[in-house]
Structure 1
Amino acid sequence: MLDSADLVAFAPSTDLERSRAFYTDVTGLEFIEQSPFACVFRSGTTMLRVTAVAEFTPQPFTVLGWAVADIRASVAELRGRGVEFLTFDTLPQGTDKIWTTPGGRIAWFRDPDGNVLSLTEFTGN
């Protein structure tokens, strides 16, 4: 039933104005609208609703991610916009903070609320 329905992604935020600036100016998502309850963006065909919350504790795992064609170029572009990428002690990441897996490459970063976001370049291996 849901296999043909459009997916809507959600992320929490304690400051919608700050999130609006980040998701628009840093990640480059298309801004759709803002209400007192959420900022709405479009990424490809997916709607992202960044939902206002009074407080929350960021999770230590990825909550949103994007499949990219060229992870090195994407990382470089986001770094140019002030994004700092994460290092995990348990993963063998290169100096560029990209982890190479049998199926691709992954890099992680946080939004202003501490949500862990990722970029993945799938290599098809």
Structure 2
Amino acid sequence: MLKHQDSAAIVAVTDMARAKDFYANTLGLDLVEGNDNVMQFQTGATTLVVYKSDFAGTNMANAVVWGVGDEIETIVADLRAKGVRFEHYPGMDYKDGIHSGGDFKMVWFKDPDGNILHLNNM
């Protein structure tokens, strides 16, 4: 039924101007279209929809994940240089902000509304 249909990630935010700055300038995503209530960013072969909501940041799980492959260390360093702070969770070891589980590397950070964003090397 849906296996041949495209999908997109969707994230709720409270301040569209602040979200536009973060997703376009900090993360480097291209704004495809947008208005005062909804924006669509290109991210690889998919899109990220950002919309205004009073419930922004209430999800306590990953909202968006990017598989960045071998670029994870470079991307983490670039984001850190732009002021992004990475999350650390109890019981996990980190090196330069990156958690490793065998060959699997991952980081978590939040957008200005507290939505949890995730990068991994898959």
Superposition TM-score, scaled by structure 1 size: 0.89
Secondary structure of the residue aligned to 1:22 is helix
For 2:12 and 2:57, locate their aligned partners in 1 and report how far apart those are by CA, in whole Å.
10
Q: Give the letter for the 1:59 counterpart.
A: N
Specify the SS of the correspondent of 2:64: strand
1:42 is paired with a residue whose SS is: strand
For the pair 1:115 / 2:115, whether they are aligned, the reply is yes
Uncovered stretches (5+) of structure 2, i.e. residues with no partner: none
Q: Which amino acid aligns with 2:86?
A: F
SS for the counterpart of 1:51 is: strand
In structure 1, the residue matched to 2:73 is 72
2:102 & 2:3 partners in 1: Cα distance? Answer: 27
5+ residue gaps in structure 1? none
Contact 2:56 2:115 in 1 (8 A): no
Work out the number of aligned pairs and report it: 121
- Write out per-residue CA displacement over residues 4-42 of structure 1, whole angstroms, 9 at most, x where no aligned residue: 211111000000110001000010111012123211111
Residue identity opposite 1:73 in structure 2: T
For 1:81, the equivalent position in structure 2 comes to: 82
Q: Give SS of 1:4's match.
A: coil
Q: Give the alignment's TM-score, normalised by structure 2.
A: 0.91
Letter aligned with residue 86 of structure 1 = E
- RMSD of aligned residue pairs (Cα, Å): 1.4
Letter paired with 1:84: R
Which residue of 2 is the match for residue 45 of structure 1?
45
Segments ≥4 residues shifted beyond 6 Å:
none
Once residues 41 and 118 of structure 2 are traced to their aligned partners in structure 1, the CA distance between those partners, rounded to angstroms, is: 17
Stretch deviating more after TM superposition (73-82 or 53-62): 53-62
Aligned counterpart, 2:30: 30
> C-alpha distance in 1, partners of 2:117/2:41?
15
